[in-house]
Every structure is written in C-alpha cells, then in structure tokens.
Structure 1
C-alpha cells in the first residue's frame, strides 16, 4: 500500500509521517509512506493525506505551485475515488472557498466555506482565538468507519481561528463545542477531513489514522 502525504509548503509533515508509520507498524500493514510534492506520486498512491497549517490562502497557493498537483488530486480522489484525509487546513481546502486574507477558491469537494469564527461565552463575551487546546468530540455519525473505536466526548487537539460554515449536515461526521458547535470531522464517499491535528491528538488521532489505513469506502 502506497500512501502519499502531500506537502503544500506547510504542515506538521514529519509528525504526520511518524504517526502513520507508527499505526501501520502496530497494525501489521505493509505500507510505503512518503511526503511528496510530485503529482506523479499522488497518482500512484493508494491513499492520500493532505496536511496543512497556517492560512487557507497560503496553503492553496502552495498547492497551486506544485505542477499538476491539483489536477492529480482531483483525478485520484474524485475520479478514481482513492481514500483521502485532509488535516487542519488540509481539511479546510476541501471546502468551496476560504475567507482568510481575501476570498480563495478551495477544492470544492464538500459544501460550505471556511469563515472566521466568532465564539461567544454564555454571557455573550468573546472567547479567545485561536481556539487552541483539547476539545471533546460529539460523534454525529458514530458508525462511520473512520470513527470506529472512538467514544463520544474523547478529546482532540485544535488550533484554528477559521472554521467550516454553511456545510451540509449529511457531511458532518463529528463536531466540537467552542462558543457554539464547530465542525470537527467532515466527509463524504471516499474523502474525509479533520479540523483538529490528528498527529497531535494522542490515541484519538492514532485511532483515526489506523482506521484510515483500513478504510474501504464503498
């Protein structure tokens, strides 16, 4: 099994690589896992991971700067339906557009846009941004294969000031709460994304990555 970790110029690439290598080894799955900037590697991969951190616009520019990468992603993920996992800004890029530092088109794979958060406490006061730290997960679709072995309320590690708005409820796999509901995991068909950093989310993140390696979308 070949797994391509796409490098858009930002993201915890080494941490994602180590986490995937760990779960592949613990699961006894023979896997060839590599960080890449080459469209050819994405086309040859069996599974694709897109990490990202920082600003939406910068990550999109990073993707666009890789010759043929966006086309390869669309061919591999949408046309050939290879399993795909977006992480943090990699998940945000799955949306129609991002509103950080102007309006930037996303990949358009899921409904909604990435908009600035405006979290409020129960008394109406603004909560700090970015949302940073460990937040519990509310599993909207607990039977989804990527959520196997997870229990409601388990925590994942978030760092973000923008979040999915106007999404399709049918594409929401899990949410968290920070001054209101926040999309934590989204997906449809063969693609999924986590707003939180799976590679920093301890056993919860490792479980999701292990599930991703055996995920066989119908």
Structure 2
C-alpha cells in the first residue's frame, strides 16, 4: 500500500485534504502528521496551508519542519497547496515581509487595491471563487481539460523569478501564476480539495505520480 503524509503544522484544512486524498484513492494510506519519521517514510508528501505567512513560517520553525520540508521536496512527489505553495518561494510581502523556504526563487505579492474587471466593476480582495486555469504540459493535468475551473481563496499570489517554474496561470484581472512545478515538486494556489471533480482528478494524478516530468 502506498502512503501520503499531509504535513500538520497547525495551519490548513487538514480534515478536508485528508478526506479528499482518501476519496481520490481509497487504497492509499493517508497520514496527517508533524512527525519527521512519518513524513520521511511516506511515498508522497502534501504541504497544505491557510492563514498568514508569518504564522506559517513560525510554526514550521517551532516544529523543526523547515529542513525536513526542504529534504523531502528533493526526493519525493511533493504537492503544495495554497499557503503551502506560497511558502515555497523566497519571501512574501505579507506581515511586513517574511522569509520563506526558497525552493522556488521568487516573491509573494499582494493584489493591488481597487482592482477592476474589463467592464470596470470592482474586484474583491481576497480573490474568492471559481476561476479558469490555463495549463502548461505536466502529468498532474492528465485528463483535466484546459480552462477547467478551480476554487481559489487568497489575497496574495506567487511571482516566480523563472518563467519555466510557472506551470499554470489564471486571471484576476491580469494573469498570475497559480501553479508551480519543478522536477518532483508541484504546487497550486487553488484548493483541489474544494474544486469538485477536477480537484479530485488532480489529487488522483498526484497519488499516481512518480515525480517524473
């Protein structure tokens, strides 16, 4: 039986993510844990997150998970979700500036105030709701149609330094990176566990992925 560890550092929809992963593949052992041995033994790792970046990084340091995440992101299929994606970049503007894990060179920026759509209607911050995702080729998009809608809730977005690290984009109202990928790491701004059938398909693809591109 294959296994997936969901990193529990006190921030994230852990029950929802665990339930969605179990639904995606009932044969996979899903373990929600902050235990280094559990995470290291797992075949795959999920790094979720909601909330503020400063609290996220403080919790990771307090639980001695920073180096562990960097380690497992080197050699296991690894999925970052929402704040878990943003934390993989170099730093974030949130909370006056926070250093992050620096697995992807780049920065996390806040949406500008007073955003408007093409018709001049105000757009709310946080960006919340369903949005179309434009893909670049990757195994985790298998059987997911181009422009499929995924569910977003966020006020900050990823700005990777290297365009090749961006594997998908969405508009609000301008295009921004909503998924990052390199080698065995894949990370998304949206919530697959809240994205119905397309989110379930992405999780299924992840649980079958060997980390190769």
SS of 1:41's equivalent?
helix
| TM-score, normalised via structure 1 length | 0.91
Instruction: Say which of 123, 131, 135 aligns to 2:131.
Output: 135
Q: Provide the residue aligned with 2:190 in structure 1.
A: 196
Q: TM-score, normalised by structure 2?
A: 0.93
Matched, 1:34 2:37: no
Aligned equivalents of 1:206, 1:94: Cα separation in 2: 23
Equivalent residue number for residue 73 of structure 2? 77
1:182 to 176, 179, 183: 176
Alignment of 1:17-166 (within 5 A): 17-25=18-26, 30-67=27-64, 69-78=65-74, 81-118=75-112, 119-122=115-118, 126-139=122-135, 141=136, 143-166=137-160
Structure 1 equivalent of residue 6 of structure 2 = 5
On the 8 A contact 1:50/1:86 being kept in 2, the answer is yes
Deviation at 1:214, TM superposition (A): 0.9
Matched, 1:208 2:202: yes
Structure 1: runs of 5 or more not aligned: none
Alignment length, in residue pairs? 209
1:76: how far off? Answer: 1.7
Structure 1: 4+ residue segments shifted above 4 A: 123-126
| Alpha-carbon spacing, 1:101–1:93, altered in 2? closer, same or farther (3 Å) | same
Q: Give the corresponding residue for 1:14.
A: 15
Contact 1:94–1:108 (8 Å) recurs in 2: yes
Is the CA contact 1:38–1:66 (under 8 Å) kept in the aligned structure 2? no
Distance in 2 (alpha carbons) for counterparts of 1:124 and 1:39: 50
Q: Structure 2, unaligned stretches of length 5 or more?
A: none
CA contact (8 A) 1:120 1:180 kept: no
Structure 1 residue 156: Cα displacement: 0.4
SS where residue 187 of structure 2 aligns?
Answer: strand
Aligned-pair distance for 1:5? 0.2
RMSD value, Cα:
1.5
Aligned-pair distance for 1:72? Answer: 1.5
